[in-house]
């Protein structure tokens, strides 16, 4: 069986940071790579703050935190990925961005390194075909926030080796996650179900059926969701939500997946949700205020 000891994470945003966080806590040496050393270093500072939250909440000890931080290194260039056993790509949900990253890193990786994508929706088989290692490529899809959410969806491409799949399974189990396996179709399981719900909430707003607050309250108190659909969309990132809807719409060729024009407008405005300070809510004040 292939053994994973060291991990590289590409993309130091909310998901890459979360993946690096849980991998370091589980004992893996982790290199965190982004377009600049500055962004990778910023990502590690965010992880330190989230580890601190877990110490404050008695979820981990101060020595667990220190040990995890000692295992995390910001990468100064792709060379830092040359010795890792597993790379998890968690960059922006755009196929061309991911393809460019794979072209850039594949020549540097060990020939037997496993390459995984945390994509929310894009075909694993298609991404794999743009690499030098379709047999050693798969989807390892974490949920946000990674340190809190229990699920990891595993997705094999048409060519994924059994040994690679088993090693990835063992890795995710060592992180304490519960696994589901999805076939490689647009949005896999979670986003095939979740994202049309969020998109429908946006249509419900767009058509004037309810306000942002009334729709969020309805779904929290009426369906027991921990966050309303607008809070959740802002949390995920509206650019990511739109990209996922576009993958569902293109890949399944059914008009029921058409992205709501209001979602498109928010993304075009750069109102991408919490990470941008504004989305369906404005986060720049003391408390979030609905933007319509
Ligand atoms: C788009 C995709 O491809 C797939 C996806 O991920 S879809 C999105 C899936 N995620 C969801 O649906 C999240 C839904 N929301 C929730 O479950 C909850 O609102 C939440 C867990 C995010 C926050 O819960 P909350 O009770 O409102 O907030 P809060 O009290 O601040 O946090 C709960 C706990 O999580 C911890 N936490 C939250 N974010 C954290 C982070 N990034 N790192 C570490 N710990 C974190 C907090 O420290 C807190 O721990 P304690 O209970 O020990 O204090
Ligand atoms: N948000 C969510 O709830 C979830 C997202 N995902 C998936 O995880 C992936 C990342 O999402 P998320 O973390 O939310 O997005 P973010 O926007 O928070 O982070 C993406 C990161 O990737 C970086 N990046 C962009 N291009 C490159 C590149 N060429 N090389 C290295 N890094 C790059 C971005 O840098 P810069 O800011 O400079 O562009 C940014 O730091 C996506 O595929 C998404 O679909 C999966 C599960 C849940």
Instruction: Identify the helix (H) or strand (E) that includes residue 232.
Output: helix 229-236
182 lines ligand 1 (CB under 6 A): no
> Are the beta carbons of 199 and 263 closer than 8 angstroms?
yes
| Same-domain status, 70 and 206 | no
Q: Domain containing 85: what range?
A: 6-183
The pLDDT of residue 261 is 98
Answering whether pTM is above 0.90, one says: yes
1, part of any domain:
no
- The ipTM of this complex is 0.95
Number of domains comprising the chain: 2
Among 155, 183, 211, the domain-final residue is 183
Ligand 2 pocket, residues with Cβ under 6 angstroms: 10-16, 34-35, 39, 90-93, 97, 101, 118-120, 142-144, 236-237, 240, 275
Q: Half-sphere exposure (CA, 13 Å, Cβ side) for 255?
A: 0
CATH number at residue 170: 3.40.50.720
Among 142, 157, 183, the domain-final residue is 183
Nearest CA to ligand 1 atom 39: 145
The Å distance, Cα 1 to ligand 2 centre, comes to 30
Matching residue, tokens 């850039």: 104
User: How are beta strands 178-182 and 137-142 bridged, if at all?
Assistant: unpaired
Indicate the Cα dihedral angle 211, 216, 221, 226, nearest 10°.
180
Residue 15 counted as an annotated binding residue: yes
195, part of any domain:
yes
Q: How would you write the pLDDT of the chain (292 residues) with one tens digit per residue?
A: 678 999 999 999 999 999 999 999 999 999 999 999 999 999 999 999 999 999 999 999 999 999 999 999 999 999 999 999 999 999 999 999 999 999 999 999 999 999 999 999 999 999 999 999 999 999 999 999 999 999 999 999 999 999 999 999 999 999 999 999 999 999 999 999 999 999 999 999 999 999 999 999 999 999 999 999 999 999 999 999 999 999 999 999 999 999 999 999 999 999 999 999 999 999 999 999 999 9
Q: Within 10 A of 254 (CB to CB), how many other CB atoms are there?
A: 9
The pLDDT of residue 1 is 63
């Amino acid at each position: 069986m292939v053994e994973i000891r060291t991990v590289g994470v590409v993309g130091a945003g909310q998901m890459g940071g979360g993946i690096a966080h849980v991998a370091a806590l589980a004992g893996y040496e982790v290199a965190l790579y982004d377009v600049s050393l500055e962004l990778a270093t910023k990502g590690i500072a965010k992880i330190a703050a989230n580890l601190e939250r877990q110490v404050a909440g008695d979820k981990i000890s101060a020595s667990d935190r220190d040990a995890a931080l000692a295992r995390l290194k910001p990468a100064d260039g792709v060379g830092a990925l040359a010795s890792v056993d597993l790379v998890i790509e968690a960059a922006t949900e755009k196929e061309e961005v991911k393809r460019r990253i794979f072209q850039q890193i594949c020549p540097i990786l060990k020939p037997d390194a496993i390459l995984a994508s945390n994509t929310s929706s894009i075909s694993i088989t298609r991404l794999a075909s743009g690499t030098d290692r379709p047999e050693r490529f798969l989807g390892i899809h974490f949920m946000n926030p990674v340190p809190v959410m229990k699920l990891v969806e595993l997705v094999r491409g048409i060519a994924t080796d059994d040994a690679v799949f088993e090693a990835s399974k063992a890795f995710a189990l060592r992180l304490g996650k519960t696994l589901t396996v999805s076939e490689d179709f647009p949005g896999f399981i979670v986003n095939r179900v979740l994202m049309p719900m969020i998109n429908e909430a946006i249509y419900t707003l767009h058509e004037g059926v309810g306000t942002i607050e009334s729709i969020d309250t309805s779904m929290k108190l009426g369906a027991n969701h921990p966050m309303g659909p607008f809070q959740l969309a802002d949390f995920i990132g509206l650019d990511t939500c739109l990209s996922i809807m576009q993958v569902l719409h293109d890949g399944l060729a059914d008009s029921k997946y058409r992205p709501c024009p209001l979602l498109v407008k928010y993304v075009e405005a750069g109102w991408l949700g919490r990470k941008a300070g504004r989305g369906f809510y404005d986060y720049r004040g003391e408390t979030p205020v609905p933007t319509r």
